Amino acid sequence: MSYSRRLLQQGTSLTRLAHQSRFKVVLDLLEETCYEKALDYGCGDGWLLKTAYEQQRIKTGIGVDVDDYMLNACAENLQSIADLQYCFPHNLAQFIEPKSCDLFICTETLEHVNNIEQVFDLVLPYCKPQATFIISVPIEVGPSLLFKQIGRYFANLKGNYGYERYTPRELFSAAMLWDVESFPSSHSLDAELKGHKGFNYQKVEQILQNRLTITRKIFSPFPWLNHFVNSTVIWVAQNRDI
């Protein structure tokens, strides 16, 4: 089973709702615009890029991932679509020209990145002035974390869903005190690949504010509840380059 299909079809109703809602919001944000070239950083198996293409939201696209397994999945999923390509980050220059992308997508990726600033150092030169950015990350701090851990626990009972555990003290600190710095995690250690535990989406927002102009901020799957009981935060932004 593909990575995207596992997210959308396995787990519990809570975990499926979280993933399905996130994908729907991202695709809805593309509205009726047909972008000339999309850059999907952390494209996984290429499902989102392919869906946007089939819905005529993008004309061409390039998916980027650091994982051999995911790029092999892209090779299978995108093999019949010549307008969609995929590569490792360090190979981007071989596939696209500077300032050629008018859409940048990055969903559920930055929480795993060791240096988020370096991601933007890499991709911004390939984005057109005023390009649209759609970026999502999981909410792993505040009250939402309690509900997410409950959903993950029951999803794991149904199969090997996999998730990072918290001690009661760690969970209280992260969920009630909004403090993810007081306990060890991949985000507090010098780990190349980061996990969900210890991730604070507010730090990503600060980086975006420094680099881009944020035009919308959406919480999913229940937008009216803000950061309470939601699994994901999604930003829409524009490139400041003119």
CATH number assigned to the domain comprising residue 209: 3.40.50.150
Query: Is residue 119 in a domain?
Result: yes
The pLDDT of residue 204: 97
The pLDDT of residue 140: 96
Q: Give residue 40's domain range.
A: 3-140+196-239
Tell me which DSSP letter residue 2 carries. Answer: -
Query: In 3D, which of 242, 236, 220 has the Cα closest to residue 103?
Result: 236
Query: Is residue 204 in a domain?
Result: yes
The pLDDT of residue 6: 52
Query: Is residue 87 in a domain?
Result: yes
The pLDDT of residue 154: 84
Tally of CB atoms within 10 A around 174: 26
Query: Is residue 44 in a domain?
Result: yes
205 CA to centre of own chain = 13
Residue 48 CA to residue 28 CA, distance in Å, equals 12
Residue with tokens 């009661």: 168
Both tokens of 218, joined, read 């959406």
The pLDDT of residue 121: 96
- The total number of structural domains that make up the chain: 1
**3-state SS record for 151-218:** HHHHHHHCCCCCCCCCCHHHHHHHHHCCCCCCCCCCCCCCCCCCCCCCCCHHHHHHHHHHHEEEEEEE
Q: CA quadruple 61, 62, 67, 70: dihedral positive or negative?
A: positive
Query: Is residue 184 in a domain?
Result: no
198 by Cβ neighbours in 10 Å (0-12 / 13-18 / 19+) ranks as buried
Query: Is residue 168 in a domain?
Result: no
Query: Is residue 135 in a domain?
Result: yes
Rounded to a whole number of angstroms, the distance between the first and last alpha carbons of the chain is 43
Averaged pLDDT, groups of 10, the chain, 242 residues long: 52 64 88 92 94 95 95 92 96 95 96 95 96 96 93 80 91 97 93 93 97 96 88 94 65
The angle formed by the CA atoms of residues 211, 234 and 151, to the nearest 5 degrees, is: 135
The pLDDT of residue 14: 59
Query: Is residue 185 in a domain?
Result: no
The pLDDT of residue 9: 47
SS3 101: strand
DSSP bridge pairs for 234: 136, 218
Q: What's the half-sphere exposure (Cβ side, CA atoms, 13 Å) at 91?
A: 11
> Between the CA atoms of 121, 87, 202 and 220, what dihedral angle is there, to the nearest 10 degrees?
140
Residue 8 CA to residue 20 CA, distance in Å, equals 6
Both tokens of 166, joined, read 């918290």
pTM above the 0.95 mark?
Answer: no
54 by Cβ neighbours in 10 Å (0-12 / 13-18 / 19+) ranks as exposed
Q: CA quadruple 160, 148, 42, 82: dihedral positive or negative?
A: positive
